[in-house]
Amino acid sequence: MKKEQKEQFIETLTKQLNEANSLYLADISTLNAESTSQLRRLCFRRNIRLQVVKNTLLKKAMERSEKDFSPMYDILKDNTSLMFSENVTEPAKVIKEFRKKRDKPLLKGAYVMDMHFIGDHELDVLIAIKSKEELLGDLIALLQSPARNVISALQSSGGKLAGILKTMSEKN
C-alpha cells in the first residue's frame, strides 16, 4: 500500500471511528476461509460491518479521532478485526453465538458509549448492556408506575366510599 493510500485509509477510518457509537476489536486469526466467510455472512445479516485492519493504521486513526481510545492501544497486537454496529450489543451477541461451535473470534476490546471494555471476559457484560430505546422504555414504565398506583387507589377508594354512603343512606 502506497503512502497516499495509507493516508486516505487512515482518514476514512478516523471518520468511521468518530461516527460510531460502538466499536469492537476482535481476533479472528485462526479461522479458516470457510469459517471467516460464515462469520462475515452472519455479521452482514445482523447489520455489523466487519473489517480487518492493520494495527498501526488503526492506532493512527484512533489518535486522530475525537474520542479517547488510548486505553485500547495496548491491545493492538497480532490480528485485529473491527466490528461496527448501530446496535451496541449485537457484535457481542454475534461473537458469543459464533463461538458455540468454534474457539474464535476472541474479543480483544470494545468501545461502547464512551466506555472501554478490555478483554474477552467482558463479553457477557457487553451483551447485558441495554440500548437507548430499552432504557427509555424502562424509564417511562418507572414514571408511569406511581401514577397508576394513585389512580388505582382512588378508583378503589371511590368504590368503597360510594358503598359506605349507600349503606348509611339505607339505614336512615
What angle separates helix 90-98 from helix 33-45, to the nearest 10 degrees? 150
* 104 — pLDDT class (breaks 50, 70, 90): confident
For the residues 13-23, what does the mean pLDDT come to?
A: 89
Give tens-digit pLDDT for 39-92: 999 999 999 999 999 999 999 999 999 998 989 999 998 888 999 988 888 999
Whether the model pTM is above 0.85 = no
Phi, psi (deg, nearest 5) at residue 167: -65, -45
- The pLDDT score that the predictor gives to residue 11 is 92
> Using CB atoms within 10 A of its CB, is residue 127 exposed (0-12), middle (13-18) or buried (19+)?
middle
Choosing among 3.30.70.1730, 3.40.50.300, 3.30.420.40, 3.40.250.10, the CATH entry for 3-129 is 3.30.70.1730
* 162 — pLDDT class (breaks 50, 70, 90): low
Mean pLDDT in the chain? 85
